[in-house]
Amino acid sequence: MTNIIEHLHTLTYDDLENWAGEKIFTRGKGLVNKVSQLEQHGENELTAKVKGTEWYDCSIQLNDGELESDCTCPYYDRCKHVVAVVLAAAKAINSDQEIPVTKENSELAEEPQDVLAAESPNDDEFDAQLEMLESIQQAMSKAGLTLEQVEALTRPNTEQATDYDPDEYLGEMSLDELNHRLSTTFNALTKAKLVQLLMTLAMDHPDTLLYDLLERASVLSREKPASKSQISVLRRQIKKITAEDSWRDNWKGIGHTPDYGPIERGLNQMLEHGQFDEVIELAKEMWPLALEQLHHSHDEGELGYEISRAMVPVFHALPR
């Protein structure tokens, strides 16, 4: 019986294009150099990671002479990431490069935080806290700080751990512990270090967190209306959010709904400062993009709700 390596030896571009579809095949060809950790599991399975919007885990199996696949991206099966893995594997085989063989369980591994989140009574809140803490830890690292060092500021006599593992550390914490650590971290920082931390975070996420921090800080300090640069950032934010896919798989209990919150808050800030023309101008740009996004959505009205709440400040600006 033919195994997956032998099968890929005989696979042609036309075969793969017919299997995945012309559009997906074309997109997958551009991701071949994004494939890493290509491994063979048994006789009939290959796995790899592919860098897209984030890292996706792909699995390709040969069952009864037919290729089957799984991917952790929203499209699950026969996506561009899977095509990239097949092409990368075929390239390695045809170049007489060995694909590492592993005897480990070939199922796509669950990340530790996924297991922990599944046990949490409030999954969405836990995920947000975990993501926030991980981002803060990364920014602290760039700023020359570690969580252990920050804790030492409040407990200077505490012995420092020499084998600190952030992933293991996060995986052992409950939601309450995450909240406590976050609070402890912020309270231990000096004003200068806190500013440095926030700036590092903002610059790492210019299309999301940067504008969010700008508009929230502006509201808190009652500063002047949004500047041209802030409006420009909001315009980029609109383009980014309206380009996201909105989908829901109730059978698997997963999905993604674009968050229009930053757009709503940005427009509200401008509305409060009397920038009615600017609100209308941005709404004119957002509306056709949002309608196109809505046309291609596969959800149960979640996207429509997000769009409608972002349009509320626009309706208030119209009579002005």
pLDDT by residue for the chain (320 residues), tens only, comes to 678 888 888 888 888 988 888 888 888 888 888 899 999 988 889 999 998 777 888 999 988 888 888 888 877 678 889 999 999 998 888 888 888 887 654 444 444 444 444 444 455 555 555 565 666 666 666 555 555 555 554 444 444 444 444 444 454 556 677 677 777 777 777 777 777 777 777 666 655 566 566 656 655 554 556 667 778 878 888 999 999 999 988 787 788 999 998 899 889 888 888 889 999 999 999 999 999 999 988 888 889 999 999 999 999 998 76
pLDDT at position 146, please? 55
Q: What is the largest CA-CA distance in the chain?
A: 74
Tokens 């046990």 belong to 119
Angle at 283 (CA atoms; ends 281, 284), nearest 5 degrees: 65
Contacts of 149 by beta carbon, 8 Å cutoff, 6+ apart:
160
Contacts of 319 by beta carbon, 8 Å cutoff, 6+ apart:
none
pTM, 2 dp: 0.38
Residue 254 CA to residue 37 CA, distance in Å, equals 26
| In 147-295, alpha helices (H) | 147-154, 166-171, 175-188, 191-204, 209-221, 228-242, 261-272, 276-295
- Nearest alpha-carbon partner for 61 in 33, 80, 89: 89
DSSP 30: T
Residue 241 CA to residue 258 CA, distance in Å, equals 6
Contacts of 73 by beta carbon, 8 Å cutoff, 6+ apart:
52, 56, 79, 81
- Nearest alpha-carbon partner for 212 in 171, 265, 256: 265
Cβ count near 316 (within 10 Å): 15
Contact indicator for 140, 146 with CB cutoff of 8 Å:
yes
Token output for 165? 């593992």
